[in-house]
Chain A
Amino acid sequence: MFPVCPRWRFRSLYGGGVVSAQEEQQPTRPDQNPVMDGYLEAIEQDARVQAMISQFGDEAFSKERFKEHMEVTRISSPSRYEIYRGIEMANRFKAAGFDGEAGSDYYTVFSPDGKMPGAAINIIDGGPVWNACAVVKGSTPDSVVDNVNIFSRPKVVIEGHIDTVNPASIEITDRTGNTIPAHVYDKVRIAPATDPLVSSPAELAAITETLNFDSDNKLIEDEAFNKAYKRFDNLSDAQANGGYRIYIPGYSDAMNNTMSVYQMAKLMREQGIKPVHDIWFCTTSGEEGRGNLVGMKQLYGYNQDAEVAELAEKGRNTLNIVANMSIDGGPMSIHYLGSYRYEVNYNSSNLAANAAMAAARAVAAIADVKSPSEQDPSKPKTTYTVGMVYPVGEDDGSKDTSFEIDMRSPVPETLEEINAIILPLYKKGADDENAKAGVNAVVQSIKWFGDRPAHRRSPHLMRTDPLIYAAWASWGMTKGTFRDLDQYPERSTSLNDNVPAAIGVPSVNMNIGVTAAGGGGHSFNEWGIPGKLEGEIANFKNVLYTLLAVAGMNGEDGSSEIVPAAYPDKAPRHVKETWE
């Protein structure tokens, strides 16, 4: 049966509400907000904030940051197998001083069983979710919150994801949270930047020079380290001056960002900055592929399986998250690509008709599809891929084969269009194989598993939303283009914040990590070369100022306070509330 896909119906208070024709005509740049400008200036002038920034950009500290980046990234962490990177991040948060009891000033939320206290749902798509969050408790008194418990205090989430596409899976041998087994440590290979990029897994495996780690997983500063740890402006600079490519899955997607979120938590703790709302610095599971955004779905209680009639069950923000900042590398994205993700299965009851062949007939036909934007370049970029194919279970595939397909577009119309083009081809694969074999044996079925609600903010809310304004204005403050742009960046992305956007929680997707050059994302040969610090420092400021402007900040002497007047203490709690 064709799956019911109700997501286009959701609109939120903060974006996507019914928009008048007049509003559609308004320029899509935020209105000037003098109150927020004042906050941002006060944040910039705060000595503790400046100390955080100078520490982050300090050369010795940045070298340590790089080492931590490599130490964590070499722990293989496929979607739905993130337990070990989760354990590692929780341990690092605790070592950085987030070691108090839950509810104290600094504590870590993580459980090796993948459950999060206070979350509305825990086991998602049948599995545990290994989010690790470091909490800086804000100054909001408990009395302002209805039915308060330590986990329902108003909070801002800032997060980066810990799952990486390659490898596809690992063996989980210890679920206690006490150990990280040796087999999950990957090799971090390095090769001169003047060498051609490796073109196959075999070529990658042939690189013998690696970064080296001691028995405690500490990166050793040896000759290989000295070759790899040099910062460059760009690839030409690296090639001209002895730079090395560092090959490790997850280098940029997304561990340089995720580790920057961790560093921000550590530095905020060191500087003793007290926000008003709590801040949860989270390293989240499940952003990629089969992860199906489970990390965010846990944080926001988002239940993909709830029926449209039960909107109250669709998403329940019991953690009371008032604003979300995802550091996935988005260009200050506030619009979110929708996607259709299906698992298409072929099952044969008679070997005369072959399930693998039926799948191949369908994929071969799909491979010749020109997407709406390929047919008409004036349409929004619309893409598709058969990302995976595999025999199911113990079968060799002749009886039981599935493939997984991803289709994306920033607006529903073109997504529906590509879906309509491809949909008949699934069944055609089975029909053609049955016709060839002269039996009616292969049955095709489809399972919708990827719920990434598309979301486009209304121009009105784009102009007035405090989070968007803070990101926009602080970008200008830190990168010298304050209000010089004609409009807010319009690109849509398909990232973690699709989930808060669907609940109605304001969200923006930003970037901290900078490479001189990098590539191979989602492929076997992901690589990066460390970039110059200036870019990372500017991005760090941009994100930090935005975070403190929306979370609020108490003055060093307690006398002054940046009030997070932007949002109520109680966020939209569930999709029904948002919808009404």
Chain B
Amino acid sequence: MFKKIRLFFALSAISMLALAGCSSSGDDPVVIPPSGSVSASYEAAFEGPGGHSNGAYGNVNAVHAAARAMALLETEAAALPATTRWTMSRFKGGNSVNSIAFDGAFTVKVEAADQAGIEAFKAALESAVAKGVKAENDFRGKTEGETNSQGGRVDVRGSVTQN
């Protein structure tokens, strides 16, 4: 029990220090913790056609694509140095259980030894998003940019933006 409490305080202290060390410049989203390492936060967002869970079954699912990308990031980032660490949060999407989700997203916060480490991570993230998107499209037999007879896109798309 004491160990847990001590750990909790230690983590709280670290996070408070990290907050105290945040850059206050509105133009610079890069957070610089006191350790001297560099950090950043990215959001990956996914969009697809959505649809009825049963009636439109076979449509690509933006939440499925997001999950694929999250899982793939481990492979894509495997070669990065051990000093590059990241945390997943805000895995979210969809509007109802009986629908194919038309949107999906996750946030990833990364910490690296230097800016080059951040850039390398971002490249890995973008690659994971692209591969997650492709895997979901492939699984459902859709191709990038494909449209239905109405001109609406039937593929899932992904993007990465820095928070």
CB of A289 within 8 A of CB of B104, answer: no
Whether A180 sits at the interface, judged by CB under 8 Å, is no
The interface residues of chain A, by DSSP majority, are classed as mixed
Given contacts A200-B47, A385-B61, contact A404 B97 (CB under 8 A): yes
- Chain B residues with CB under 8 A of A361: 67, 70-71
Does A471 make an interface contact (CB < 8 A)? Answer: no
A388 touches B97 (CB 8 A): yes
Q: Which of A20-28, A61-69, A352-360 contacts B (4 or more CB under 8 A)?
A: A352-360
Q: Is B111 part of the binding interface, using a Cβ–Cβ cutoff of 8 Å? A: no
Residues in B with CB closer than 8 Å to A362 are: 67
CA distance A213 to B53 in the complex (A): 33
A363:B51 contact, CB within 8 angstroms: no
What string of 1s and 0s marks CB contacts (under 8 Å) between B119-163 and chain A?
Answer: 000000000000000011001000000011011110000000000
Give how many A-B residue pairs fall within 8 Å (CB-CB). Answer: 196
Chain B nearest CB: distance from A391 CB in Å?
6
Q: Known contacts A167-B95, A386-B101: does B67 contact A397 (CB below 8 Å)? A: no
User: Is B70 within 8 A of A195, CB to CB?
Assistant: no
Closest chain A residue, CB of each to CB of B147: A196
Q: Which of A313-353 contact B (CB under 8 A)?
A: 337, 339, 341, 351
Q: Do A288 and B152 contact each other (CB < 8 Å), given the known contacts A385-B101, A523-B102?
A: no
Q: A197-B148, A290-B97, A366-B64 are in contact. Are A391 and B91 (CB under 8 A)?
A: yes
Q: Is the CB of A398 within 8 A of B88?
A: yes
Shortest B77–chain A CB gap in Å is 13
CA distance A405 to B71 in the complex (A): 19
The reply to whether A450 and B97 form a contact with Cβ atoms under 8 Å apart is yes
CA A383 to CA B74, docked complex, whole Å: 29
Known: A197-B152, A199-B152, A361-B71. Contact between A522 and B50, CB under 8 A? yes
Q: Which residues of B contact A284 (CB under 8 A)?
A: none
B36 within 8 A of A: no
Contact (A396, B100) CB under 8 Å given A196-B151, A387-B94: no
> In the complex the two chains form, is B71's CB within 8 Å of A364's CB?
yes
Distance between Cα atoms of A520 and B151 in the complex (Å): 13
- Given known A197-B150, A360-B71, contact A388–B93 (CB-CB < 8 A): yes
Residues of A within 8 A of B153 (CB): 199-200
Task: Determine whether A118 belongs to the interface, using a CB cutoff of 8 Å to chain B.
Answer: no
List A contacts of B139 (CB < 8 A).
367-368
Against B, the Cβ 8 Å flags (1 = close, 0 = not) of A281-296 are 0000000111000000
Which residues on the B side are within 8 Å of A359 (C-beta)?
A: 67, 91
CB distance from B45 to the nearest CB of A (A): 10
State whether the Cβ of B99 lies closer than 8 Å to any Cβ in chain A: yes
Q: Which residues from 433 to 471 on chain A have a C-beta closer than 8 Å to any C-beta of chain B?
A: 436, 450
Q: Residue B49 at the A interface, CB < 8 A?
A: yes
- Chain B, interface size category, equals 35 or more
Is B11 part of the binding interface, using a Cβ–Cβ cutoff of 8 Å?
yes
Which residue of chain B is the closest to A401 with respect to CB atoms? B91
A245 and B70 CA atoms in complex are apart in Å by 37
Residues of chain A from 130 to 183 with CB closer than 8 A to chain B in the complex: 165-168
A518-552 to B contact mask, C-beta < 8 Å, 1/0 = 01111111000000000000000000000000000
Minimum CB–CB distance from A202 to chain B (whole Å) comes to 9
- Given the complex, which residues of B lie within 8 Å of A401, measured CB to CB? 91
B107 near A: Cβ within 8 Å?
A: yes
Q: How far is the CB of B136 from chain A (nearest CB, A)?
A: 7
Do residues A396 and B107 form an inter-chain contact, with CB atoms below 8 A? yes
B63 touches A396 (CB 8 A): no
Of B54, B68, B90, most A-chain CB atoms within 10 Å: B54
Asked whether any CB of chain A lies closer than 8 Å to the CB of B9, the reply is no
Residues of A close to B61: CB separation below 8 A: 367, 385-386
CB distance from B55 to the nearest CB of A (A): 7
Contact B91 A405 (CB under 8 A): no
The distance in angstroms between the C-alpha atoms of A386 and B11, with both chains bound, is 33
Given A79-B96, A398-B89, the answer on whether A196 and B152 have CB atoms closer than 8 Å is yes
The answer to whether A389 and B92 have CB atoms under 8 Å apart is: yes
Contact A351 B97 (CB under 8 A): no
B contact residues around A405 at 8 Å (CB): 97
A381 touches B (CB below 8 Å):
yes
Sampled A-B contacts (21; CB under 8 Å): A79-B96, A199-B152, A200-B153, A341-B98, A354-B87, A356-B70, A356-B91, A360-B70, A360-B71, A364-B68, A364-B70, A367-B64, A385-B61, A385-B99, A386-B64, A389-B67, A391-B92, A403-B63, A494-B54, A521-B52, A523-B51
Known: A363-B66, A364-B70, A524-B102. 19 other contacts (CB 8 A): A196-B151, A198-B152, A199-B152, A201-B102, A235-B150, A288-B96, A351-B11, A356-B89, A357-B70, A360-B70, A363-B63, A363-B64, A383-B54, A387-B100, A388-B95, A404-B94, A519-B152, A522-B50, A522-B52
Interfacial residues, chain B to chain A (CB-CB below 8 A): 11, 47, 49-57, 61, 63-68, 70-71, 74, 87-104, 106-107, 135-136, 139, 147-148, 150-153
